[in-house]
Structure 1
């Protein structure tokens, strides 16, 4: 990576943060989570950090290691070490000046908040800067040269210029070039590759052994397809690792470049067994989608798996700001069509968010008569079918514009998340009618409503938050819920189902048409938080209900050092 080019993206020295306020003679405030007394400056950036830091609830990542073999216990620390390298690589992508910034920040809370956000922008508050002198967060992160406009790359005659495993560099004359990740990050990727090779030597499971070897090769070649196919074929492994450059949310300029991340996972076999039957129902559910035939003529892959895991380590992109609670991979559309995907439900993290966030939100904002319908099983199912629903709908436009993702570019992610939300609910509704799922529809709908109120707090800078805001506003317009005089939300169960079908139709049509301008308009009109809703969300903050969680994790936490 051209260091001088990347440094220019943010700032060139420490002088611009010299204005951080000293707080030696100001009022004291007690942190309710730690019990420690902290001095803050009223209305200062440090005061802002103090209030925001309290919105993250600490959670220790553990699991039952008794399910692991002796070799798997030896293998686990190697996977965590490889994941930690992904964490360092994500820092280089998101904010490479981490060390120089932390060196001049004396306030420990601010330092912690920088670490949570992987930089000086509040990811759950529309990327608001919280360090003096820091400007807006660049849409292109470090994937593109400083000051490069979208049109500069669009008109450039460059082969493979939207390669997801590369950056764009500019020489002194302004000439652009494509540089692969395995060249930019060669040294670190080689170390991670070596760790995966060592882990493969210890793997008892043949599928895991093959995957680790191929993934190790992928890290140093940027050819991830063979390892993705082998990963989908793994059936009997207990340990797993998702590792590499995967999601493209960090690239807000083109939604093209991928960010490094890793999850180290331990499969919950009992829960996974309960989920196996649902993927085979995808083709039938696809046929019933509430949209004209041309938008649902594709056949979803059925060689997919639904599994439940406990996560024992998060690293990089998935650990930045809001924490992922379910994963649907691979993202490659061709693999999805030929083979399907694996939907991984991250059960321990999901349970932590339900207990510490969703239930307190429901107790505050859901109508008292409907609070009885909020349950973890419904939350788990709604999240699970969100991931399954990524496989429904349409991957290629009906207008000859190619894949939906390529046609919608930076507008793709938020709309796809919105599709998965509403089609996940559509799946729940259909499966209940077919008696393939048990429970009361009121439970799933009310829990979904509470989930909306949880996720809109992620803000307008985050794809999932934008998707939930669109859903909230659409459902409100259709009368799917009302806000009572008491300031609580009450679901109209009949209209909720109708709104679900209407929004499904709208999103699938937008995707199938590949009309980027129409999607931009939909986002501008609907992915917004009204003053009334914001006031209700502020009530949650005043009640000190967390927005998200932050992890205590690592080999030492697990006791496998």
Structure 2
């Protein structure tokens, strides 16, 4: 009797513990799902030509294929896991996060039995160490467009994306070719054809140049393996994504003049001459768009509201980049998130300075600022990206944050931008408080925390006794210049150890700040948006 009752008691305890864990995770999912606000992605399709209306569904179909490919990269067990989950909220939360880890909360697992998220996603064999790959004879150890696998004998090999995902990429390529046949705009036609070929070869250079050459197109499509954020092991492998875009030609015309000012702004950077000797490319554009479809990497976690591409450093230096402002998504975040946050956390006397035009400009110049600074180290370590590896992305985002503000300040002083500096600085402060809610796991999250803590340490703002934040406009500008100097110097030196130290010390959320952010959650203010999107929402077939 005793020998039987012992194990039975242990089983009861295990069952109770398992049930308690399940309840706790369910409560977590319920709370976290509520942080997302649903937004419909639409545009005025009546302004599109007949052929453009036919092209949009083809672009969206191709984007959906990128979405499936990103699932294969991030969490290929999606369907098998979904089949075991009965709770609809847990299923929905898993789909938002492209896996069972909460992307806006340090990749915390929210499904029972799921361990930590692998740093290498599925780009590398499970359990592979950095040293193992470094010591192997694989040729493209840091290739953007391949995965690393082990063969039957345990030897590391690489497989190109266009081989591994040949079936899906052939379908996407065919859709782009169909769209190209319908395209009236010659630049768009050329780009779609070249991008269709690139998906099947992993050679994206020609299509990147063709994309930058497009000037008169109304529709646009960003598609392919682009960003390296998902590869937290080496920051090397690119993830599939897509944006389907409709150009806002009125706003785009307003933005056109700023790119030509990059060389002058580069020379004024608050760093030693050797760190600003490079000449940024100016043959590129600032454009505003309505985004009508997100897919893959850009739809996972915090939603992108502006894009600066291509990422190829050689193309950036020779040709420049295109900075795409996703105006409708940006307006949704301003109205539904930033304004309510400002009313809770910004000093009541400074609330008058919060406005959308300042928010739009701050985000826009963040993207422009990726073209400023330094691409090659001054210490002979090659490109900054190569020298800093997995530490590159978050520091580059931090650079764009603070240099965007530097650009705004400089353009206001030159009379090239309208508005009051107090509007831009106060809205920037509210923007930081919005973005730090994404957590410190992502590149953007680390960048925001570095900025917040650096500005705080330098007195750029104070926290009032009632928990609101008040900007010191003089110290804000001084802190901006100091942080600009620090980041560009770190990049130019290619000192990875120093960047790691900076991340450990500055890219963290303090308990005091977390308490203030928790207040926003209790007030029901969303952290981010999720989209209702597709041909049905747009009203095209």
Quote the residue 1:472 is aligned against. Answer: 452
Spell out, residue by residue over 1:101-121, the C-alpha distance to the aligned partner (whole angstroms, 9 max, x if none): 000100000000000000000
What secondary structure does 1:260 align onto? strand
1:181 pairs with 2:161: yes
Deviation at 1:172, TM superposition (A): 2.6
Please state if 1:131 is matched with 2:111: yes
**What residue is the counterpart of 1:213 in the other structure?**
193
For the Cα contact (< 8 Å) 1:389–1:423, is it kept in 2? Answer: yes
Shift of the 130–371 alpha-carbon distance from structure 1 to 2, 3 Å rule, reads same
The corresponding residue for 2:204 is: 224
Partner of residue 303 from structure 1, selected from 270, 283, 286? 283
Partner of 1:118: 98
Tell me whether 1:396 sits opposite 2:376 in the alignment.
Answer: yes
Structure 2 residue aligned with 1:250: 230
Name 2:41's counterpart in structure 1. 61
Aligned to 2:438: 458
Q: 2:303: which partner in 1?
A: 323
The Cα offsets for residues 523-556 of structure 1, whole Å up to 9 and x where unpaired, read as 0000001100000000000001000000000011
Are the equivalent residues in 2 in contact too, given 1:55–1:547 (CA < 8 A)? Answer: yes
Q: How does 1:339-358 map to 2 (within 5 A)?
A: 339-358=319-338
- CA–CA separation in structure 2 for the residues paired with 1:303 and 1:511: 24
Match of 2:71 in 1: 91
Q: CA deviation at 1:43?
A: 5.8
SS across alignment from 1:444: helix
The answer (yes or no) to whether the contact 1:21–1:44 under 8 Å persists in 2 is: no
Q: Deviations over 1:496-522 (max 9, x none)?
A: 000000000000000000000000000
Q: CA deviation at 1:303?
A: 0.4
Displacement after TM superposition at 1:159 (Å)? 1.2
In structure 1, what is the equivalent of residue 406 of structure 2? 426
How many residue pairs get matched? 527
Distance in 2 (alpha carbons) for counterparts of 1:224 and 1:21: 49
Q: Is the 8 A contact 1:21 1:46 kept in 2?
A: no
Aligned to 2:464: 484
Identify unmatched segments of 5+ residues in structure 2.
1-14
| 4+ residue runs over 2 A deviation | 18-23
Instruction: Give deviations 1:258-316, integer Å, cap 9, x for gaps.
Output: 00000000000000000000000000000000000000000000001000000000000
Contact preservation (8 Å) 2:22, 2:112: no
The TM-score normalised by the length of structure 2 is: 0.96
In structure 2, distance between residues paired with 1:515 and 1:104:
46
1:452–1:19 CA distance, 2 compared to 1 (3 A): farther
Residues 458, 51 of structure 1: alpha-carbon distance in 2 compared, 3 angstrom cutoff:
same
Structure 2 match to 1:31: none
Q: Give yes or no for contact 1:266–1:311 (8 Å, CA) kept in 2.
A: yes
Deviations 1:300-338 (A, max 9, x none): 000010000000000000000100000000000000000
Residue 449 of structure 1, aligned match among 405, 426, 429: 429
- SS at the partner of 2:225? strand
| Cα contact 2:180–2:193 (8 A) shared by 1 | yes
The equivalent position to 1:290 in structure 2, one of 267, 270, 274, is 270
TM-score, normalised to structure 1, is 0.93
Match of 1:172 among 129, 139, 152: 152
1:350-399, Cα deviation, whole Å (9 max, x unpaired):
00000000000000000000011010000000000000000000000000
Distance 2:147 2:215 in 1: 35
Deviation string 1:36-88 (CA, Å, 9 cap, x unpaired) is: xxxxx996101100000000000000001112100110111000000000000
Please state which structure has a larger fraction of its residues in helix. 2
Quick check: 1:19–1:132 contact (8 Å CA) kept in 2?
no
Structure 1, unmatched stretches of 5+, are 1-17, 24-40
In structure 1, C-alpha distance between the alignment counterparts of 2:457 and 2:409, rounded to whole Å: 21
SS, match of residue 179 in structure 1:
strand
Matched residue of 1:264: which SS?
strand
Could you tell me how far apart the structure 1 residues matched to 2:19 and 2:153 are? 43
